[in-house]
Amino acid sequence: MKLTSTDRRLLNELQRDASQNQSDLAEVVGMSRTSCWRRIRDFEDAGLIERQVALLDPKVAGFNIQVLLLVAMTEHTDENRQSFERHVSTLPEVTECFSVSGDRDYVLHVVVRDMDSYNEFLNGEILKHVAVRSASSTFVLRRVKYTTALPV
């Protein structure tokens, strides 16, 4: 999708705060309210804007432990991959799942309330899956940077 400088300003502003009313948003980016509304709809129709959400602070929400979980598969078959990916997509503790290259096959971002919850999650949901050979946990000490904004 070809983006103008005004499109980029609009997208950056939406990534900063999508809850702004359209009149304020249009004024900030230098567009009419109607043009702004139309352009946002164009972005949604093109799939550039997937959805608008509220971002919660994990600690304030009671999720005191964040883990980067590296998972290795038993075999690299389509069946194993699809089965594991379907399973992971149902787990609310998993906020992100990446298929990766290297020694491991997946990296999961996991949020849980406490260590007991993580132990139950790891042993009950990940290690018991038939496609999983092993898993390695890296515990987040503190979040240095967090953004959902893309550098448009």
The answer to whether the CB of 131 falls within 8 A of the CB of 83 is yes
The one-letter code for the residue type at 66 is: Q
The pLDDT, as a whole number, for residue 2 is: 93
Q: Using alpha carbons, list the distances in angstroms from residue 135 to 5, 34, 50, 74.
A: 45, 51, 31, 11
Q: How many Cβ atoms sit within 10 Å of the Cβ of residue 100?
A: 12
Stated pTM of the model: 0.90
In the predicted model, residues of the chain with pLDDT beneath 70 are none
* Domain with residues 5-46, CATH architecture: Orthogonal Bundle (1.10)
pLDDT tens per residue across span 93-102: 999 999 999 9
Q: Using alpha carbons, list the distances in angstroms from residue 69 to 23, 40, 100, 104, 148.
A: 43, 36, 12, 10, 20
Q: Which two tokens stand for residue 107?
A: 């990296």
**Of 66, 40, 56, 69, the residue nearest 148 (C-alpha):** 56
Contacts of 12 (CB under 8 A, 6+ apart): 149, 152
The pLDDT, as a whole number, for residue 88 is: 98
**Region 65-139: CATH code:** 3.30.70.920
Maximum C-alpha span of the chain: 56
Strands (E), 27-117: 65-73, 94-99, 106-112
The pLDDT, as a whole number, for residue 146 is: 94
Euclidean distance between CA atoms 94 and 135, whole angstroms: 14
The pLDDT, as a whole number, for residue 16 is: 95
The pLDDT, as a whole number, for residue 1 is: 86
Tell me the domain boundaries of the chain.
Answer: 5-46, 65-139
